[in-house]
Amino acid sequence: MNTFLRVFLIGVLLLLITDGNAQKVISARSAVQRVTIKPEYSRGLPPNLFVNLSFEDDNKNGILEAGEKGRLTLNIMNKGKGPAQGLKITVKDNLKDTDLVIRDGQEVAFIYPDKTATIAVEIEAGMWIKTAEHKLQIDVKEHFGYDMDPAYLIINTLQFQEPQLVFSGYEIFDIGEGTLAITEDGQIQPGEQVKVKVYIQNIGQNVSKNSNYSIATSDPNIYITDGTGKLGNVGIGEVKEIWFTLSPNKRVVAKGDLPVYMAVTNDFKRGELKNKALPLALNTKAPTANIVKVEADLEKLKTKVARFEYKSDRITANTSELIDISQAPPAREKRARAVGIVIGVENYDYLAPAPYAASDAALMKNYFKNTLGIEQVYEFSDRKVTGNFFDNNFNSTYGELKKAIIKGETEVFVFYSGHGIPSPEGDRVFLMPSDGRIEALERQGYDLATLYRNLDALQAKNVTVFMDACFSGVSRSTEHTEAQNLIAAKGALIKPKVTEPWLNNPRFIVFSSSGFDQNSLGYDAAKAGLFTYYLAAGLQGKADANNDKKITAGELSDYIRENVSETSVKIRGLQTPVFSGNRDVVLVSY
């Protein structure tokens, strides 16, 4: 090292030692400085928060099983005039189970007016979760106290269910490729080579995941080929086949079962077969395989799938998987002497709209023609339903419908979707044309009792009416559309007490979407009236309770009532359809 370089290094060293302000450690790595910037909040006009809730677990059955994850999703919308600030989402379990892990605590700094924020909360069930019903309280807190009302996710957890693999039987094949038989008798003799098919069944209550098998022997005089392999997943109750080749030579002198063993393993390390001695004996026919019927205990929980509970009309929840109602299946029989009138009024000149009413009519026209087998079907919607439309068509003296009726022979079907309006006294209810005014209700509206009296006076063979309208005085609401007061009355809604001339008429079958004091809802997810949606689904065959390929009026009524009632509370409150008529009448054969 030259003198100059030596002097330079010594000087640098002395500088580091003597300089009190020098760093004591020199490193290429400097400490990470975490800087947290807290947003500044300033109160102004208040926000108006709405939230849509949905939940989905990994296998989409609505039950959180051991080892499974689920996702609670909140779509938070601000419909106010000021920003929502400093939002925090918490989800609290009413039970104490450490194996239910809720990853909540998400924060949103701002949601500005007319904007939406989507928050996902992961919920995970550990392997040792207990079977229980959990009620999770969902809170959205805002910095200045403009909080959401609490909502609840009711979810069932299912403890770990073990698979159980069992040996169920075997068969011997001494004929065919890869075999050599001394005597072709389906038995094993020394000196032969046979194919063995072994049956394995999972009689447990969980899938045996990624199952593998191995066949081995402790006798050097027994030769086994194809003795290892993969079975994959073995479902609950499922039977799998294992094939291998077996050849005992002439030196085998085993008495009783041959020393052949099988092992079947899986990812869980539970319910496995370990060194199972196979009952393979010389000169012995295989017994009949023992296959048992196994049903999953999960079926017991199918009626307890995840659901939401809430009281605020600012909270909505996604419901069950949609049924495709766009296709109307063909009927087995046609109704040659039948006429159908389909009416849908969605857009009114002087009233709030009735969401999806026009599309309801278009949909039901197809179901009338294809599924109910009605050859004459007339559809009217929106601008075709004005002025004296109802009287011009239903008047029993000069109406258009009268011209299509043969007394005692023609079947009449009527579908209506749109507004129904009660009178101020609540003793009458009216259907409204698209240009009708509340101020001229009795002149422009069409009295529901008059409709049924005119239908009766036509003396048709029978009359079936589907009425997707409410008569409580509010417009049709949906998850995203609030109900509006149609009658401009203050205070409580009117609960009509009206004459119902169809109740005791043996020729009438009437399906009504709700009670007179309830709201009939629209179903945003299906873009249809909620009643119409389940009416269509029921006519597709889902109402066929006894699977006899026939749908009676009673079956259809039960299906609609059960499903509308269940779904409506997840949207905006209870809606209970009403039925009157002969339950045994067959509406559809397919």
In a domain, 124, yes or no: yes
Average pLDDT in the 577-585 region? 94
Q: Do the domain assignments include residue 313?
A: no
Residues 367 and 348 in one domain: yes
Question: Do residue 401 and residue 260 come from a single domain?
Answer: no
Specify whether 118 is located in the same domain as 177. no
Dump pLDDT digits (tens) for 177-211: 999 999 999 999 999 999 999 999 998 888 899 99
Which of the two residues, 428 and 339, has the higher pLDDT score? Answer: 339
Q: What is the 3-state secondary structure (H, E, C) of 375-428?
A: EEEEEEEHHHCCCCHHHHHHCCCCCCHHHHCCCCCCEEEEEEECCEEECCCCCC
Count the neighbouring beta carbons within 10 Å of the beta carbon of residue 389: 20
357 domain-assigned: yes
Residue 125 pLDDT greater than 50, yes or no: yes
What pLDDT, in 10s, does the model give residues 132-183? 999 999 999 999 999 999 999 988 898 888 899 999 999 999 999 999 999 9
Pairing of the two strands 273-277 and 586-589: unpaired
Give the residue from 158, 177, 200 where a domain finishes. Answer: 158
Query: Mean of the pLDDT values across residues 582-590?
Result: 94
Residue 403, pLDDT score: 94
Residue 44 reports pLDDT greater than 80: yes
Within-domain flag for 320: no
Q: What is the mean pLDDT of residues 320-337?
A: 84
Q: What percent of the chain has pLDDT over 90?
A: 64
pLDDT tens for residues 506-530? 899 999 999 877 888 999 888 999 9
Q: Is the dihedral of CA 232, 234, 239, 242 positive or negative?
A: positive
Confidence check: pLDDT of 428 > 60: yes
Among residues 158, 184, 207, the one where a domain terminates is 158
Residue that finishes a domain, picked among 112, 138, 158: 158
**Which residues fall within 8 angstroms of residue 277, CB to CB, at 6 or more apart?**
257, 259, 260, 261
Per-residue confidence (pLDDT) for residue 351, from 0 to 100 = 92
Looking at the fold, whether 203 and 154 belong to one and the same domain comes out as: no
Residues 537 and 440 grouped into a single domain: yes
* CB 227, CB 214: distance < 8 Å: yes
Helices and strands of the chain, counted as H and E runs = 7, 32
Q: What is the DSSP letter of 312?
A: -
The DSSP element (H or E) to which 12 belongs, if any, is: helix 3-18
Res. 32 pLDDT band, cuts 50 70 90 = low
* pLDDT for position 305: 60
> What's the confidence (pLDDT) of residue 321?
61
560 and 432 within one domain: yes
Instruction: Give me the mean pLDDT over the 53-62 stretch.
Output: 82
Q: Can you give the residue range of the structural domain that contains 59?
A: 49-158
| In the predicted structure, residue 36 carries a pLDDT above the cut 90 | no
Q: For residue 427, what pLDDT is reported? A: 81
Q: Are residues 54 and 135 in the same domain?
A: yes
Closest CA to 179 of 193, 196, 159, 190: 193
Residue 537 lies in a domain: yes
Calculate the alpha carbon distances from 386 to 100, 343, 364, 413 in Å: 58, 12, 20, 21
Domain annotation covers residue 507: yes
411, 357: one domain: yes
Mean pLDDT, residues 408-420 taken together: 96
Residues 390 and 537 reside in one and the same domain: yes
> Mean pLDDT score of the chain, rounded to an integer?
87
Residue ranges of the alpha helices (H) in 280-398?
Answer: 357-366, 389-394
Q: Are residues 180 and 145 in the same domain?
A: no
User: Higher model confidence: residue 549 or residue 33?
Assistant: 549
Q: Is residue 5 part of a domain?
A: no
The string of pLDDT tens digits covering residues 304-313 is: 566 777 677 6
Q: Does the residue 290 lie in any domain? A: no
Give residues with Cβ within 8 angstroms of 249, minimum separation 6: 190, 191, 221, 222, 223
Q: How many domains does the chain have?
A: 3
Q: What is the pLDDT of residue 430?
A: 93
Q: How confident is the model at residue 491 (pLDDT cuts 50, 70, 90)?
A: very low
Model's pTM, two decimal places? 0.52
**pLDDT tens, residue by residue, 218-256:** 999 999 999 999 999 998 888 999 999 999 999 998 789
Q: What is the rounded CA–CA span in Å between residue 539 and residue 549?
A: 11
On whether both 183 and 148 belong to a single domain, the answer is: no
pLDDT at 39: 87
Tell which phi-psi region holds residue 439, choosing left (phi > 0), alpha (psi between -120 and 50) or beta.
alpha
For the chain, give the percent of residues with pLDDT over 70: 87
CATH of the domain at 178: 2.60.40.10
Q: Give the residue-averaged pLDDT of 2-13.
A: 49
Considering the domain architecture, whether residues 53 and 189 belong to the same structural domain is answered as no
| Residue 27 clears pLDDT 60, i.e. is over it | no
Q: Is 299 helix (H, G, I), strand (E, B) or coil?
A: helix
Residue 490: phi and psi, rounded to 5, are -90, 155
